Structure 1
Amino acid sequence: MTSDGLVLAGEHPEATRAQWRELVAGVLRKTGDVPDDVPVESLLTTRTYDGIDIAPLYTAEDADGATAGMPGLPPHTRGARPDGHIATGWDVRQRHADPGTTPATLLADLEHGVSSLWLVAGESGIPIGRLGDVLADVYLDLAPVTLDAGPEFADAAAELLRVHADKGVPAAETRGSLGADPIGHQARTGTAPDLRAAAALAADAAGFPNLRVITVDGLPFHDAGGSDAQELGAAIAAGVAYLRALTGAGLSAERAAQQLEFRFAATADQFLTIAKLRAARRLWARVAEVSGFTAAQRQHAVTATAMLSKRDPWVNMLRATLGCFGAGVGGADAVTVLPFDAAIGLPDAFSRRIARNTQAVLLDESRLAGVIDPAGGSWYVEKLTDDLARAAWAWFTEIERAGGVVAALDSGLVAERLAETWERRRDNLAHRRDALTGISEFPNLGEKPVERPAAPPAPTGGLPVVRYGQDFEALRDRADRALAESGARPTVFLATLGPVAAHTARATFAANLFQAGGFQTPDAGAADAATAAERFAASGAAIACLCASDRTYAADAADAIAALRAAGAAKVLLAGKPSDAYAVDGFVHVGCDALGVLRQTHDDLGVPA
């Protein structure tokens, strides 16, 4: 009881885990059998791609032993700085890779909330010789630049430093990063990394105390379909490889660490993003401890390209918002929100504005940076951070036993493990256990395609680059080509039996599933078996899917199947759990291989691949 009489749960007896279990078990018994010898938590627990169990309930007991520390102090789990981002917010960083980028484009960003620039230079972006022209109107002492030039990092660095010199920017005020990342380039292309050149660049930049030289990029491992721990472990291994190269070139361990900036993917799973960034700082703090330096990890979080969709790209705004939220709460020093059309081609002015305004809303309107480590003390987040750090450390040490990240990439160890994770993820996507809004769930066949100029080709030859929606989008493309060539979209007729209230649930499910493959799905309305068959024949479709309640199936399914076959149906499917009671050609149901059903239906209809 407080002095003003306000009570916070003081009038209620303390709840126990045993009481919670009994109440939850009572609810679960209403929906199915609950074995007495099975803990109810296990029935509601999910598992990440790293084998980490996500429980439905967490208490202080679950987080007992998790290493959090204090903000600004090792192990830096709670943040690299004691004040978090309260004073200035995080660095809002915008990416530019358009060879035709103009000074006006950069100024539009900088005048509307962006605080630093990420310039892709060289063959995959802005020509190195144009950097001076592109940055002509930028005050480089106020707006730091981070380069991303692949194998041309030395030439791009020399040009950027020349631009700084021409503008009279003192060495002590030169900030940003030269972005050398030969290991990341190896991951993307399979070419041998030139660590000596990166170390030499770091040595040459000794006169620029606030300039970073190396980017430790975890994105290639995430873009290949890897898990969060795999991305973390590989990035930490790359960071250690750079430490060895830089100290071998004469830099102290602490000075070498100050040359590094780590880049991680931020996904729509906000809690895993938060935990990943917190775990990354803890992992690097352990490396620092055994290496004899105390510099905290500097982090640049980027909304993940793997989660971006080409279809219904507007949903990417929501995914990016969640990723940005997770990155901000997780304590990233810099955040880049990729524009919603980044998977389609070169972003336009509108999509870049939405990207930067996403961060502006979270910073200025939601005041997300107004609290130090806002997730700290959450038993779920602390436990997840600890579990993720341990899983990532196990992967990191395995890479080290294999000779380090360069050797592990050369031998195929990294590619093999990432491929295993991608296949598991791909299977979950195919069965829609991992849902993709607008792609595998709730597709919009009537959407107007978003068109953008093609982006410069990214380097290839190393780890694959995947997007979670690519398989479903390939089927949508297949259906659209058929529409363009024949004037008709591939069709699956929904033979809806009985009143609307009886068949609407399964009809909605079936329509949602088949439209994810680009099929149009006319239905019979409230019909009996004969009427449904008649309307099927009039539709011109070749495949029908029965949709009704279990009671209606028991009474009318046999007659409906026979009537549909007599009306010319090449295949008859049924929306519901598989059963020997119905002589159909297949079933569609929750948990079925949706991608397999859609591919087979395309093949059955003769839709060109």
Structure 2
Amino acid sequence: MTVLPDDGFSLAAEFPHATHEQWQHLVAGVLRKSGREVSAETAEDALSTALEDGLRARPLYTARDAAPPTGLPGFAPFVRGGRAEGQTAGGWDVRQPHSVPDSAAVLSDLENGVTSLWLSVGEHTGFPVSALPAALDGVYLDLAPIVLQAGAESAAAAAQLLRLHDEAGTAPAAARGNLGGDPLGHEARTGSAYDATPLYELAGRCAADRPGLRAMTVDALPYHEAGASTAQELGCSLATGVAYLRALTSSGLTVQQALAQLEFRYAASADQFLTIAKFRAARRLWGRVAEACGAARHGAQLQHAVTSPVMMTRRDPWVNMLRGTVATLAAGVGGADAVTVLPFDQELGLTDAFARRIARNTSTILIEESHLARVIDPAGGSWYVERLTDELARAAWDFFQEIERAGGQAAALRSGMVRERLAENWAARSRNLAKRREPVTGVSEFPFLGEKPVVREPAPPAPSGGLPRVRRDEAFEALRARSDAHLAATGARPRVFLAALGPAASHTARLTFAANLFQAGGIEPVTEGDFGASGTRTVCLCSSDEVYAQEAESVARQLRAAGAQQVFLAGRPGTYAGVDTYVFAGCDAADVLSATLDRMGVSR
């Protein structure tokens, strides 16, 4: 070890060491000046942010926020990565999805940065199994890993792919990818089960003859898309993985062979740090399962990250590019082995070549230009990330154990337990979305009513019959759809007149707030001219509390006399005569806007 000479200079040597308690005391003093009565002991809680699963993000993390040892990359408990060398020299596997048998699009992707293909096959999933040869026409199967998702037709699709490998003369060791067997994931999506015995037999063949090909996928997306919290998504994946381990070992595979037949698929969201912690926690949890099975050294989890469908919006879809970028960065930092960036127009129908290009280039920029894959576990050592990883892993393990006590994943699905628990979480999250505590840019915050719609050809209907599919934008999307229908029927959107009281310094902040809120419901704000010429009978007063105290009631009376039928006030609820409704930060915006459209005669 090199010992640096003592040059007599030490940073901050003249300052006393600051303690955590001193920091808390200073924070409490600042909060009290802002009108919040807190003690030094509760000051930190006052600045904490509540997350799902009972977790909280605190404002300060220090060395005292210790987490269990994370080990080394490639070694149990695999928190820091499933491989000692980290991601391959070229970064993570860039995996592009395809649901139509378009070989030209497939080849274009492979020629421009995509390194593996994710094909949706089957009558209720994507294109017909019989079209698989056409979709892969011209693809070098020994170079491009193929991942299938075929639902109830998984065995037939797998057999077709294996025939294509044989016909192409692919060396057994060169065949890579996943045959996509996931009976529990299919049941979660559709409510119906299928016989997975042929897939377990194929897993045995893969283990014996094709070591680079896996037979089973543990897809957690059905739970994520049904409103699961992060811990619930992880818990369901563990329970599913354990169910497949039991089935595979019962069919004759060793525990080591069975572990090597599974690949896990998780959603990556724009919540950057929670996503990083998710992938790190998932590896730790699966490593614990492998340890319990007596195969701790073989517990490295192969992870496929997919940018969250739940976060994708139909309004202002261009913003989805930004969401996808943050989610991809988080998945890469979290150590995912493969990443699928869903095209920004995913929720509008069949994606086009431009959207697919942007999606694949998102990974390319992060790998090639940002050099994100050159560092193993770049978030490792962060007190916040390590603590969040630990807390999330514990919450997920608790939910996994709850599922196991209910009889396992299949029993928990069929009894309705999983559905009920996920619905409870989504109901709580929906309240935050409605109140804009979880803002959706371009939808509930900063909407653009004059945007030109992005139109795509309709996509095949998604499988249904099982768990519901939810979207963050659904409440506000319904309001915007009502406004669009009103515009088509009458030639104008519903309007609200924003009455600014007092000088600009008094009304600007709340006028901006009110304009933003009403546009989230498809209601066009009118700020110029006078109320009589606004073409509406709905008005919102906008100013400071001081101005309201002097003018709100008299202005409300004047507006009523001029024909106003509904008077809002932008500010905390008060007792101003003539005011019907108050809009403020934290109000149930979705409910207020829906009721307003009802009063305006805008049909549902």
How does the TM-score come out when normalised to structure 2? 0.96
* 8 Å Cα contact 1:182-1:198 kept in structure 2: no
Q: Which runs of 4+ in 1 moved over 6 A?
A: 4-8
1:521 maps to 525
Q: CA deviation at 1:4?
A: 11
Q: Distance in 2 between matches of 1:481 and 1:204?
A: 56
* 8 Å Cα contact 2:63-2:383 kept in structure 1: yes
Letter aligned with residue 155 of structure 1: A
* 8 Å Cα contact 1:495-1:524 kept in structure 2: no
Residue among 224, 245, 260 paired with 1:243: 245
* 8 Å Cα contact 2:315-2:477 kept in structure 1: yes
Letter aligned with residue 151 of structure 1: A
Residue among 365, 369, 377 paired with 1:365: 369
* Deviation sequence 1:354-383 (CA, Å, 0-9, x none): 111110111011111111111111111111
* 8 Å Cα contact 1:67-1:386 kept in structure 2: no
SS of aligned partner of 2:54: coil
SS of aligned partner of 2:347: coil
- The within-5 A match list for 1:593-608 is 593-608=588-603
* 8 Å Cα contact 2:182-2:219 kept in structure 1: yes
* Deviation sequence 1:245-277 (CA, Å, 0-9, x none): 011100111101111000000000010101010
SS of aligned partner of 1:546: strand
1:316 equivalent to 2:320? Answer: yes
* 8 Å Cα contact 2:28-2:38 kept in structure 1: no
Q: Distance in 1 between matches of 2:8 and 2:372?
A: 28
* 8 Å Cα contact 2:25-2:40 kept in structure 1: no
1:528 maps to none
SS of aligned partner of 1:50: helix
* Deviation sequence 1:557-591 (CA, Å, 0-9, x none): 11110011111111111000001244311100010
* 8 Å Cα contact 1:195-1:245 kept in structure 2: no
1:23 equivalent to 2:18? Answer: no
* Deviation sequence 1:522-557 (CA, Å, 0-9, x none): 0257xxxxxxxxx11211201111111112111111
Q: Distance in 2 between matches of 1:16 and 1:184?
A: 50
1:116 equivalent to 2:116? Answer: yes
1:551 equivalent to 2:546? Answer: yes
Letter aligned with residue 555 of structure 2: A
Letter aligned with residue 561 of structure 1: A
* 8 Å Cα contact 2:181-2:196 kept in structure 1: no
2:180 maps to 179
Of the structure 1 ranges 378-387 and 129-138, higher mean CA displacement relative to structure 2 is found in 129-138
Change (3 A) 1:361 1:403: same
Of the structure 1 ranges 116-125 and 86-95, higher mean CA displacement relative to structure 2 is found in 86-95
SS of aligned partner of 1:492: strand
Letter aligned with residue 242 of structure 1: Y
- The within-5 A match list for 1:221-260 is 221-260=223-262
1:46 maps to 49
Q: Distance in 2 between matches of 1:414 and 1:7?
A: 60
* 8 Å Cα contact 2:231-2:392 kept in structure 1: yes
1:465 maps to 469
Change (3 A) 1:225 1:8: farther
Q: CA deviation at 1:34?
A: 2.5
* 8 Å Cα contact 1:496-1:524 kept in structure 2: no
Q: Distance in 2 between matches of 1:221 and 1:19?
A: 44
1:439 maps to 443
1:148 equivalent to 2:149? Answer: yes
Q: CA deviation at 1:10?
A: 4.7
1:96 maps to 98
- The within-5 A match list for 1:95-494 is 95-97=97-99, 99=100, 101-123=101-123, 124-205=125-206, 206-293=208-295, 294-295=297-298, 296-494=300-498
Q: CA deviation at 1:198?
A: 2.7
Gaps of 5+ in 1: 526-534
SS of aligned partner of 1:591: coil
Q: Distance in 2 between matches of 1:37 and 1:332?
A: 40
SS of aligned partner of 1:141: coil
Aligned residue pairs, count? 597
Residue among 581, 586, 591 paired with 1:591: 586
SS of aligned partner of 2:494: coil
Of the structure 1 ranges 406-415 and 206-215, higher mean CA displacement relative to structure 2 is found in 206-215
* Deviation sequence 1:329-377 (CA, Å, 0-9, x none): 0000100010111011111111111111110111011111111111111
Letter aligned with residue 281 of structure 2: A
Letter aligned with residue 233 of structure 2: E
* Deviation sequence 1:10-43 (CA, Å, 0-9, x none): 5554332123223322322232223236521110
Give the percent of matched residue pairs that are identical in Structure 1 and Structure 2.
58
Of the structure 1 ranges 426-435 and 130-139, higher mean CA displacement relative to structure 2 is found in 130-139
Q: CA deviation at 1:463?
A: 0.5
2:573 maps to 578
Gaps of 5+ in 2: none
* 8 Å Cα contact 1:346-1:452 kept in structure 2: yes
Q: Distance in 2 between matches of 1:105 and 1:444?
A: 32
Q: Distance in 2 between matches of 1:508 and 1:200?
A: 63
SS of aligned partner of 1:545: strand
SS of aligned partner of 1:83: coil
SS of aligned partner of 2:160: helix
Q: CA deviation at 1:396?
A: 0.4
Letter aligned with residue 200 of structure 1: E
